[in-house]
Amino acid sequence: MPTKRRRYSDNDKATALAMYDANGGNLYRTSRELKIPQSTLEEWVNGRGTSHDVPELRNEKRQELQEVLRDLAYEIAGAMPAKIKSATLSQQSTALGIVLEKMQLLSGKATERVDVTDWRSEAIDYIKAGKVDYQELTKRLGTDLATELFRQAGVEVVQSAD
């Protein structure tokens, strides 16, 4: 007996594509969460098998999902103080972080992780270019860190005779 193919409405497709956006473009996760074959979802992502109405519906679904997530974020944040005894702060913070990240993805803003070593590279470049001196950096960062940065820049530490 042949298996029956499931039919998806434009609304279903738009909802799935909005969830795909909320999952940061993760096909596997979205197909698993929605129980839609990954190949089917991939077709929709690539614009195949969808009507001309789906992109507009997708944006509407993204907005709806943003509102739901915003409400959920407020609910989680409000529940944190009362839940500290039954859930770890880490668990509550993780839940809030996930919701906020999905809100950001749905609003079209990329989420990014900032490498904390970026400022060090920039500081070293300034030292090499002679744009900052040791005394100035010592006042801002302390002797140990300023000395380390100058050493990494390959610049000799010159202390003024105050």
**Domain spans of the chain, in order of start:** 10-106, 118-153
Among residues 92, 154, 93, 101, the alpha carbon closest in space to that of 127 is found at 154
* Cα–Cα distance, 96 to 91 (Å, whole number): 9
Q: Which two tokens stand for residue 102?
A: 């999905």
Work out the angle at residue 122's Cα, subtended by the Cα atoms of residues 117 and 124, and round it to the nearest 5 degrees. Answer: 95
What pTM was computed for the model?
0.54
CB atoms within 10 A of CB 79: 14
Return left, alpha or beta for 142; rule: phi > 0 is left, psi -120 to 50 is alpha, else beta.
Answer: left
What is the overall mean pLDDT for the chain?
82
Q: What percent of the chain has pLDDT over 90?
A: 31
CB atoms within 10 A of CB 10: 15
Alpha carbon of 49 to those of 21, 83, 110: distances in Å? 18, 45, 27
> How many C-alpha atoms does 79 have within 13 Å on its Cβ side?
15
* Cα–Cα distance, 14 to 57 (Å, whole number): 6
Distance of CA 88 to the CA centre of its chain: 22
74-121 confidence digits (pLDDT tens): 787 777 667 666 777 677 777 777 777 777 777 777 666 544 456 677
Which stretch of 25-34, 84-93, 133-142 has the lowest confidence by average pLDDT? 84-93
